[in-house]
Amino acid sequence: MGVMALFLRDLRLVWRRPGDVAVVLAFFVVATVLFPLGIGPESNLLARIAAGVLWAAALFASMLSLDRLFAADYEDGALDLLLLAPWPLELLALAKCAAHWAVTGLPLALLAPLIGVAFGLDDATLGVLALTLLVGTPALSLIGGLAAALTLGARRSGALLALLALPLCVPTLIFGASAIEATATGESFVVHLAILGALALVSLATLPWAIAAALRQAGE
């Protein structure tokens, strides 16, 4: 089916240029590792700020790769083919965001626990860190996808994109970080994780329509 074809095409395009994803992951590693280096080996302080730092860095890293999400298709005319495909554009937009998540959100979630070790997080907290990123990053890809679609054709679209998307990502950031903090203080993280999941589901249920509308507007 056409939606799956688009998802696989985007993965293949990334596979042909692995550097694009490598840069994002490298940014995440470098940005987060700077904190332990800058603050010094104060393990209590590091463990306290770890949740916020790792989540904020994951957010920035996923923004970094978003500006090409629709812009590449817009510039080379492939967006017309998507607009003309006999499928709901909402599903095609979702396929593009899913491909983005598969090559950024998913590796970030897998990579974060390794970085967490540098912050002195214990095993349980590392597990929760990966879990929150796994549940929360789909919302980031969708929110970023909307910003990417809205800024198509704009000058300095990268900066505009971050300005649009980052405020919308605040709830995800808050509940992602608070789930980790709850674990560190011995409370249950389940409530925070459930809210994070709910945020992701609300994004999933609403944003593909908004993205499709923005893409149609760009195609006019």
Partner 1 sequence: MTATVLEVSDLACRRGGRRVFEGLSFAVAKGELLALTGRNGSGKTTLLRALALMVPVRAGAILWQGTDVRTDREDWRGMLAWLGHQDGLKGDLTSAENITFAERLRGRSAEPGRIERALAAFDLIRLADRAVRTLSAGQRRRVALARVVASQASVWLLDEPLNALDAPAQEALHEVLSSHLASGGIAIAATHAPLQAARTLELAA
Q: Please report whether residue 80 would count as binding partner 1 according to CB under 8 A.
A: yes
Q: Is 209 in the site for partner 1 (CB under 8 A)?
A: no
* Cα gap 109→93, rounded to integer Å: 23
Closest to partner 1 by CB, 25 vs 83, is 83
Rg over alpha carbons for the chain, rounded to the nearest Å, is: 18
For the chain, report the end-to-end CA distance as a whole number of angstroms. Answer: 26
- Kindly give the residue spans of alpha helices, DSSP state H, lying in 40-122: 43-64, 71-76, 78-84, 89-103, 105-118
**Closest separation between CB of residue 218 and partner 1, Å?**
10
What is the secondary structure of 34-59 as a DSSP string? HHHHHH-S-HHHHHHHHHHHHHHHHH
Candidate residues 38, 40, 41, 86; the one interacting with partner 1 per rule CB under 8 A: 86
Closest separation in Å from C-beta 27 to partner 1: 22
From residue 8 to residue 47, what is the string marking binding to partner 1 with x (rule CB under 8 A)? Answer: -x--xx--xx------------------------------
Q: How far is the CB of 150 from partner 1 (least distance, A)?
A: 18
- Contact criterion met (CB below 8 Å) for 94 and 210: no
Minimum distance between the CB of residue 102 and partner 1, rounded to whole angstroms?
17
Q: Are the C-beta atoms of residues 151 and 161 closer than 8 Å to each other?
A: yes
**Given 11, 33, 83, 166, the residue binding partner 1 (CB under 8 A):** 83
153 and 70 Cβ atoms separated by less than 8 Å: no
Window contacting partner 1 (CB under 8 A); options: 37-45, 56-64, 77-85, 164-172: 77-85
Binding site for partner 1 (CB under 8 A): 1-2, 4-6, 9, 12-13, 16-17, 75-88, 216, 219-220
